[in-house]
Amino acid sequence: MHGRLKVRTSAEEAARKKKEQELKVKAYRAGMAKIQSKRSKNELDEEMLTISGQILARNPDVYTLWNIRKECILKLSEKLDEEAKQAVFDKDLGFAEQCLLANPKSYGAWHHRCWILENCPKPNMDREVALCNKYLKLDERNFHTWDYRRFVVGKAGIEPTKELDFCTEKIRNNFSNYSSWHYRSNLLPIIHPHETDPLRPISEEKLKEELEMVLTAAFTDPNDSSAWFYQRWLLGYSRPELDIAAFRINRKQAVIAFTKPITSSDFKIQITPPLQVFSEWKPANGSSADSTWFIEGDFTISEKETCKPVLCTLEGKYCALDLKRCHDGFFGIKCPRFEYEFGAAVIDELKNQLDSCEQLLELEPDSKWTLLTTALLMRAIDRSKLHEKSIEYLTKLQTIDSMRKGYYEDLASKWNTEKCLEEWQTSKKIPNEISLKNLNLTSIYYDQYFSIADVIDLSDNCLSNRSIPKLSSFRFAKKISMESNKLSAIENIPNLKYLSELSLKDNKDLREHGDSSVDAICGEGFKINI
């Protein structure tokens, strides 16, 4: 029929595409072969730039070719004056932008622009900021553009307050702009630092304003995660400073634990007289960095002496821990601050937000972000009084959001351990016994704090073999119970100086080992119950 286009059959179209792909692959291989040949001869010339550009224009993710272009540009600009050198860099800057039009999320193209700006004689940062504005209009959530913006803004010396205003504008246009929320969290501590507490990200007054703004965003679309994540940052855990966490010494062993992993070169310890000065501490887990360190020897401890503080220099900072008498020596423990301690005005706002979340849950009882935020708000308001309720919400989330069940289980394990640790620190049982029984623990947290305990009960939980390495911190433990857990083997049990009994009864996945393997694990005088 005249005047009608011929429509290819599916088979014809598939054959055409296959032939087209074969030609592209052939051209790519030929181009790469030519590039490798010229590179081996150190021919970093205009032809090399042309060939690499032809390939990158179609596929800007071949990072090796960007590196080759860097070599070419440096070689070509060696003997040029400043103006001519600038022209070479500007030309490649334009080429990188062409590649970004093909793929706005190309790591190689964005990184290449950063390199050009750092190496060219006269970088035009204002032009680059304008470029970021252009790309963020095309896709306001392109995190590559946000990363590049932070880079050029830092080079251009733009005031953080102007950038915060830019973030606010973008968030108001689209509450789901996660990158803008994240950038905001970087800017606020600079513009509105906390007046007295360096561990708190922003001032109380600004925190209250941010909480009010983020609640509006979260309730506009409860199923979007961006605002909820930002709110979690506002409520976030207090990150403890590096400090002494616990210490214990008897006549045969001394153990010191820190709030964070540290290397032996980063600390120096002195136990004041009549105890001696120590060196050559060993990490409990055998690696170069650990939270728990120990030393064995023959130490003289007077029965009548009252021990003075442990003195320690950590990464150049002086720390101390007061010691008390125990049945065979001295011990001390210093519990960290797990959450921020908010002021009255912020607490009132948090209570209002908790009420709003609970109202939303009446309408949408299975809203996972609302459930998690409600639990976090309870922790921020009164973690002791509202502990059981917050754990209840985490348990519910394990069913509603089953793909993240492991995360909720581990978070509940962390919260339950923190509660036990706080109670244990104030009890009269230190350092005799700590019970973490029947808490549905899936992981062992804060193991360094339990390094001074004689008896540790971890029975009736959900611990698997991934928890076995944590036992290496329990340097003074005489008895450890891991009954009724989910252990499947008894290999890799650490060698602990005082451990005389390890109970592994009622682990349904545990298969009996031969007597020889049990003896090898236990050692002389050691009792294991399976």
Domain ranges of the chain: 10-192, 193-236+340-382, 244-333, 414-529
Q: Hey, what CATH class is 414-529 in?
A: alpha beta
**Given this chain, do its domains 10-192 and 244-333 carry the same CATH topology?**
no
Confidence of residue 529 (pLDDT cuts 50, 70, 90): low
pLDDT at position 286, please?
85
pLDDT, one tens digit per residue, over 216-266 is 888 888 888 888 889 888 887 666 788 899 999 888 899 999 999 988 887
Burial 368-392 (b: 16+ CB within 10 A, else e): bbbbbbbbbbbbbbebeebbeebbe
- Percent of the chain beyond pLDDT 90? 48
For position 341, what pLDDT does the model report?
82
pLDDT greater than 80 at residue 325: yes
pLDDT at 488: 84
282-302 average pLDDT score: 86
The string of pLDDT tens digits covering residues 340-367 is 788 898 999 999 999 999 999 999 999 9
Question: Average pLDDT in the 383-393 region?
Answer: 95
Query: How confident is residue 288, by pLDDT bands cut at 50, 70 and 90?
Result: confident
Contact 72, 120 (CB under 8 A): no
Angle at 64 between CA 60 and CA 67, to 5 degrees: 95
Q: What's the CA gap between 142 and 135, in Å, rounded?
A: 8
pLDDT digits (tens, 9 = 90+) for 109-135: 999 999 999 999 999 999 999 999 999
β-strands 289-296, 253-263: how paired?
antiparallel
Read off the pLDDT band of 298 (50, 70, 90).
confident
* 90: pLDDT strictly greater than 80: yes
298 or 449, which is more confident: 449
Which of 29-38, 146-155, 450-459, 516-525 shows the lowest mean pLDDT across its residues?
Answer: 516-525
pLDDT tier for residue 511 given thresholds of 50, 70 and 90: low
Other Cβ atoms less than 10 A from the Cβ of 406: the count is: 12
Q: Which class is 244-333 in CATH?
A: mainly beta
% the chain with pLDDT above 70: 90
Query: Tell me, what's the pLDDT at 132?
Result: 93
DSSP designation for 297: S
Going 178 to 179 to 185 to 191, the CA torsion angle's sign is negative
Model confidence at 524, pLDDT cuts 50, 70, 90, reads very low
Predicted local confidence at residue 530, as pLDDT: 62
Mean pLDDT of 71-88: 91
Convert the pLDDT of each residue in 47-77 to its tens digit.
Answer: 999 999 999 998 899 999 999 999 999 999 9
Which of the four pLDDT bands, split at 50, 70 and 90, describes residue 24?
confident
Q: Considering the chain, what is the average pLDDT of its residues? A: 86
Average pLDDT over residues 523-530: 56
Render pLDDT for 164-190 as a digit per residue (tens, 0 to 9).
999 999 998 888 889 999 999 999 999
3-state secondary structure 392-450: HHHHHHHHHCHHHHHHHHHHHHHHHHHHHHHHHHHCCCCCCEEECCCCCCCCCCCHHHH
Residue with tokens 């953080």: 160
Report whether pLDDT(521) > 60: no
- The pLDDT of residue 3 is 55
- Cα dihedral across residues 38, 39, 44, 49: positive or negative: positive
Residue 477 to residue 181: CA distance in whole angstroms: 46
Pick the CATH number of 10-192 from 1.25.40.120, 3.40.50.2300, 1.10.10.60, 1.10.10.10: 1.25.40.120
Q: Output the six-digit token pair for 344.
A: 């009255």
**Number of neighbouring beta carbons within 10 Å of residue 520:** 11
pLDDT at 525 over 50: no
pLDDT of 310 strictly over 50: yes
Compute the average pLDDT of residues 481-501.
Answer: 87
> Pairing between strand 501-503 and 479-481?
parallel
